Amino acid sequence: MGNTLVVHAKRLPQSQKARRAAQYVRMSTDYQQYSIENQAVVIATYAELHKLTIVHTYRDEGESGLRIENRGGLTELVEDVQSGRADFAHLLVFDVSRWGRFQDVDESAHYEFICRRAGVEVAYCAEQFDNDGSLLASIMKNIKRVMAAEFSRELSAKVFAGSVRLTHRGFKMGGPTAYAFQRRLVDDQCRPKGILTIGQRKSLLTDHVKLIPGAPDQVEIVNWILHEYLRHKSQATIARELNQRGILNSQGRPWLGKAVGDLLRNEAYIGVLTYNRKSRKLGAKVTRNPRELWIRKENAIEPIVHRDAFRRAQKIMGEGRVSIPEEEMLLRLRKVLMKKGKLSKTIINSSPGLPSMSSYVLHFGALRNIYRLIGYNGNQEWFDKYASHQRWAALQLSNAARLRDAFERLGRSATLNASTECLRIDNVVNVVFRVARCRNYENAALALDAAIPREVAEGMGCRGSAGREERSDLRLCLDALGVAHLQSSHVLVLKGSL
């Protein structure tokens, strides 16, 4: 009985698979002749002529053939074939292009090879050749794959040309709707048919979408944002004030400084419809196109803000974002120093025509080095305090690492996050290290102003504060790790001097 053949329900013998077949059908949004129903009819006819029984259907409906991502049917098919779960010996496909219109023509051949290697024969039911491995079949399949890829390229060029033509007629070509605008659906004669809400799309090819000003209160908010920016408020400050007033953006979310900047740059508010600022052709990554490739249509939208005010805002943003050589960056910084008599992060960021502080740090390193390059000593007292702070920060991390090692030697779990200076113990307690003013103890060892287990302190080479009975809110009860009422966050106070 040990050699008895056991037939599992999901692993049929090859003899039982011989007349069983699966079908793979895919329809994107191109032509009706590739509908799921039409493909199924042709495949069913082929199966009947060859006495095959269709036992499983893999389908991808409304999915592009440029990539395998989001194509659950094809992904499931490949997984079943590779894992041996496939209970069929034939795969029926409408034609070669149903694998996909991949720009790399070897990709569709790859999926056919996976099936063939697992013993599953692939048949193309609507093609005029048999997929029998002959020279003719190999040549025809490669030609079909190249034609499928070329079809996508030609279709992409036609769609782009049509979108450019419609943009020049003043119609919106998709994408999110800017704040304070709404989409009006119009027919081929530009007669209004209604307002499209979020998530709604036009259903007729002859219909189009135009942008019109939205709610009056939102229009007022746009003008307020522009006015406040011209008063030299930062984008982050404007976003913060909008959130404090409970005003949400066009997606119903709180404002961010970047969203305010995007609004201030959007030419739709002065009536200009823009297309092709970004592109993602043939499934490639999204790319930002240079301004000369943008498609712009003047007076396509009713303006919301005054053009002069909008241009002044663009000038301010242009002056705050410059691209200049490093020598010129230092020269401009020297001129600001001569004019102001001193330098600081605030002065650098607020000076027109000067790169931001972060740009200077990116190019030249630390602030002290930047000042050294232009012959400026700066606030020496501040630099001394900063250097002292850095030394204390290094000491904190050292103490945190010692405390972590002490707990690990006791068999406890301890994880140190250097960026937040936080030690997490047993995934329950957070020990946070912070710099604070303290007294210097002459000839005194580093002391812990906390009640900690003696074995942990000895493992760190430190001593606790002897004779201390009082309890403080900043005290760290490390010896109470097993107590249920222990709070989740504590502060470790260290006394000592560098």
Cα 408 to the center of its chain, rounded Å: 37
Cα 323 to the center of its chain, rounded Å: 26
82, 127, 129, 213, 303 from 21: Cα distances, Å: 16, 18, 19, 57, 61
pLDDT at res. 321:
63
Residue 170's contacts (CB-CB under 8 Å, 6 or more residues apart) are 210, 273, 297, 300, 301
d(CA 77, CA 58): 7
Q: Look at residues 305, 81, 79 and name the one whose alpha carbon lies nearest to residue 178.
A: 305
Helix (H, G, I), strand (E, B) or coil at 267: helix
Asked if 431 and 422 count as a contact pair (C-beta separation under 8 A), the reply is yes
Asked if 360 and 370 count as a contact pair (C-beta separation under 8 A), the reply is yes
d(CA 478, CA 428): 12
Give this prediction's pTM.
0.53
CB-count exposure of residue 29 (10 Å: 0-12, 13-18, 19+): exposed
d(CA 184, CA 191): 10
Measured distance between the N- and C-terminal CA atoms of the chain, rounded to whole angstroms: 81
Q: Which residues, given as ranges, of the chain have pLDDT below 70?
A: 1-16, 29-34, 62-65, 67, 282-284, 319-323, 379-383, 386, 419, 434-498
Cα 296 to the center of its chain, rounded Å: 28
- Kindly state the DSSP code that residue 290 receives in the 8-state scheme: P
d(CA 39, CA 152): 20
Phi-psi region of 77 (alpha: psi -120 to 50; beta: other; left: phi over 0): alpha
* Long-range CB pairs of 137-146, under 8 A, 24+ apart, other chains included: 141/96, 141/109, 142/105, 142/109, 144/95, 144/96, 144/97, 145/96, 145/97, 145/102, 145/105, 145/108, 145/109, 146/105
Asked if 252 and 197 count as a contact pair (C-beta separation under 8 A), the reply is no
Q: How many Cα atoms occupy the beta-carbon half-sphere of 440 within 13 Å? A: 4
**Which H or E run includes 422?**
strand 422-425
* Long-range CB pairs of 223-226, under 8 A, 24+ apart, other chains included: 223/304, 223/305, 225/260, 225/263, 225/264, 226/264, 226/269, 226/305, 226/309, 226/310, 226/313
pLDDT at res. 65:
61
Helical segments of 273-379, H only: 307-320, 326-340, 345-350, 357-364, 367-373
239, 266, 309, 316, 344 from 231: Cα distances, Å: 15, 19, 11, 11, 22
Angle at 209 between CA 203 and CA 213, to 5 degrees: 135
